[in-house]
Amino acid sequence: MDFIFSQHALEQMKIKYDKEVDILYIHFSEGKIVESDEDKPGIILDYDDKGNIVGIEVINASTQMPQRMKFEYEVA
């Protein structure tokens, strides 16, 4: 599967973890979500009206991440 991102979208990326519901959300842009697909069990991809990815939601994130709450960010 190919993901489509715009440079503008990546400049606005936010990562939020809600420990009460155990959901990790990676937000790539402020675009309006018009479609969501569960790519794999517990992984939901959100898209705008042009097919660009707006965000990724990880359900039961603590069971899907090897080290909870440890993030590394790199721009290449």
* Structural domain spans, the chain: 7-64
Residues 6+ apart with CB under 8 A from 41: none
pTM of full prediction above 0.75: no
pLDDT for res 7: 47
pLDDT tens digits for range 31-69: 899 999 998 999 999 999 999 999 999 999 888 776 656
Q: What are phi and psi of 69, to 5 degrees?
A: 70, 15
* Helix, strand, or coil (residue 61): helix
> Across 12-16, 18-22, 67-71, which has the greatest mean pLDDT?
18-22
